[in-house]
Amino acid sequence: STKKIMRSIVLLALSLAHAGLVSGFTPRAPISPLAQRTPPSTTKLNLGVVITGGSNGVGYAYADEFLSLGHSVVICDVADTEPPVKALKAKHPGGEIYGTRCDVSNAEDVSALGAFAKEKLGTIHHWINNAGVNGGRRALMDVPISQVELVVKVNLLGVLLCTKQAMAVMAEQEGVEGHIFNTVGSGVKGGGTPGYACYGATKRGLPQLTDSLRKEIDEGVEGYEARKMKGSIKVHSLSPGMVFTKLLLEDSTPSLRKFPFGVLAAQPEEVAQDLVPKILAAKESGTSIEFLGTDKILKKFFERFVLQKKSEYIDDDGNVIKFPGEQYNEDGVRALY
- Name the residues annotated as catalytic: 199
Peptide bond into 207 cis (omega under 30): no
DSSP-derived 3-state class of residue 81: coil
Residues 224, 264: Cα–Cα separation, whole Å: 46
Nearest to 188 by CA among 241, 266, 261: 241
What one-character DSSP code corresponds to residue 334? B
E strand intervals along 6-157: 48-52, 72-77, 97-101, 126-129
Q: Return all residues near 27 (Cβ < 8 A) that are at least 6 apart.
A: 287, 288, 289, 290
Tell me whether residue 34 is exposed, middle or buried, using C-beta atoms within 10 angstroms of its C-beta: 0 to 12, 13 to 18, 19 or more: exposed
DSSP 187-244: TTTS---TT-HHHHHHHHTHHHHHHHHHHHHHH--TTSPPPP-SSEEEEEEEE--SBS
CA trace torsion 267, 128, 159, 112 (10° rounding): 120
Residues 265, 261: Cα–Cα separation, whole Å: 5
- 149 membership: H or E segment, kind and range: helix 145-152
Q: Return all residues near 15 (Cβ < 8 A) that are at least 6 apart.
A: none
Identity of the residue numbered 294:
T
Packing angle between helix 197-204 and helix 145-152, nearest 10 degrees? 20
Residues 233, 211: Cα–Cα separation, whole Å: 13
